[in-house]
Copies of this chain bind each other. A is one copy, B any other.
Amino acid sequence: MVFVWYCGGMEQNRPVISRRNRPAKPPLTREGIVAKGLEILAAEGLSGLSLRRVATALDTGPASLYVYLPNLGALHAEMLDAALSAVTAPAVGPWRERLKAVLWRYMMVLIERPGLAPLALGTLASGPNSLRIWEMLLGLLQEGGVDAKSAAWGVDLLILYVTAIAAEQSLRSGGDLGPVEAALAQLSPTVYPLIFAARALLLSGGEERGHWALNVIIDGLVGPPDPGRTA
């Protein structure tokens, strides 16, 4: 590990400058950049996150980050994988409950940080935490007696599903649902009678809706819980 103490100031750009007199800044690290990115994402959402914003938050210029990251997509991928470290495996319980717990945790990690879910939708997650979760889910599905092909395709599907739901949920709780409500309010009851009749239900449901959605996909993948077939 190399220790670099100096820091570049934003002021005094004209003459030759001795960087030793500047106040010390912690050296840049990839972990620090990723952490600061997650911080900004939590504070300002995905639209507020940019390379330059992370750079200025670290009191440096945008070019400095390219020493540690090849491009913005890599930062996104690292941020996602870092956040996914919070998705841990439940130790005990029936496999179906453990499967649902893992998916729920995955969903919550994405929902709790505004902007992370839409970021995850556009990012191919291939980091260590992603692989760890894949391994976990594959094990749980195989433990539940799901055949190999359904398990392989199912893990992909489950993660995609949970990510998409999180993206939708995070925007539902995260503010501007106004346009949707307006569109539903102005709806013609004669042209769209079914939507009109269901307009209250369409926007209803908080956490309950997430549980319902998880049960739907698990039922579809492995069958209903109790009276169905048992492995």
Chain A positions near chain B (C-beta within 8 angstroms): 1-5, 7, 9, 46-47, 77, 118, 121-122, 124, 126, 131-132, 134-135, 138-139, 142, 148-157, 160-161, 163-165, 167-168, 171-172, 176-177, 179-180, 182-183, 187, 191-195, 198, 201-205, 209, 212-213, 215-221, 223-224
Contacts and interface: CB of A to CB of B under 8 A. Distances in A.
A126 B201 contact: no
| The 5 A-B residue pairs with the shortest CB-CB distance in the complex, in nearest-first order | A220-B220, A152-B201, A7-B179, A164-B164, A138-B194
Nearest to A209: B153
Contacts of A152: 198, 201-202, 204
Each complex incorporates copies of this chain amounting to 2
A7 B184 CA distance: 14
Contact of A202 (B1, B223, B224): B1
A64 to B, nearest CB: 24
Contact of A198 (B77, B138, B193, B205): B138
Contacts of A165: 157, 160
A188 to B, nearest CB: 9
B153 A2 contact: no
B183 A126 contact: yes
Contacts of A121: 121-122, 164, 167
Contacts of A176: 4-5, 7
Contacts of A4: 171, 176-177, 179-180
A167 B131 contact: no
Residue of A176, A182, A212, A220 most packed against chain B (CB within 10 A): A220
Contacts of A9: 179
